[in-house]
Amino acid sequence: MNLVLNLILCLVSLPAINAFSSGADPRACSNLKPLHDGLDTQTSTSPFAVIPSTTTYTASDKVTVTLEARCGYKFKGFLIQARRADSLSVRTEPLGTFDPVANTNQICPNNTALTHSSAAEKTSLDITWNAPSIAGTGHIVFK
């Protein structure tokens, strides 16, 4: 009887954590922070990398971006968006779009970001970012 009561007390006292196995919540588009309740922002070195084939673009360019887990880690979810990186530009402005691949969805206004659509574990994922078709060049950062 004590065992059952202890188990019930443990389950009731667990903190609730929102996880989004089918993709990021659209409310995360403004600051790209996941809405996982009860979790602090990571301050240690990340075991994950975002590796673009280039950090500059011209109109209509396609850039391959690799999301990669390192040191034996795997990842399930992600939210990625390109932002301007030029010193004279608004660095919070989303830029371009991503081509969806298997188990991903476009998200955020004008489909400027890409997120997971399943909780399958991944060690690497190659995606394609499309620069805006309007005339222009610049530097980009993927967040």
Nearest-CA neighbor of 95 among 38, 40, 67, 56? 56
| Nearest residue to 34 via CA among 124, 134, 143 | 143
Please state the pTM of the whole predicted model: 0.77
pLDDT given for residue 3 in this prediction:
41
Per-residue model confidence as pLDDT tens digits over 28-53? 687 777 666 666 777 889 899 999 99
Of 40, 30, 114, residue with least CA distance to 77: 114
The architecture of the domain spanning 20-37+45-142 is Sandwich (2.60)
Residue in the block written with tokens 């409310």: 27
pLDDT at residue 2, rounded to an integer: 44
HSE of 142 in the Cβ direction (CA atoms, 13 Å)? 27
- pLDDT per position as a tens digit, 112-131: 999 989 989 999 999 999 99
- pLDDT band, residue 16 (cuts 50/70/90): very low
Q: Average pLDDT, stretch 88-106?
A: 87
Average pLDDT, rounded, for the chain:
80
Domain extents for the chain?
Answer: 20-37+45-142
The CB density around residue 102, as the number of other CB atoms within 10 Å, is: 8
C-alpha 112/C-alpha 130 separation (Å) is 10
Question: Does residue 124 contact residue 47 with C-beta atoms inside 8 Å?
Answer: no
Contacting residues for 55 by C-beta, under 8 A, at least 6 apart: 85, 139, 140, 141
Residue 21 has a pLDDT of: 56
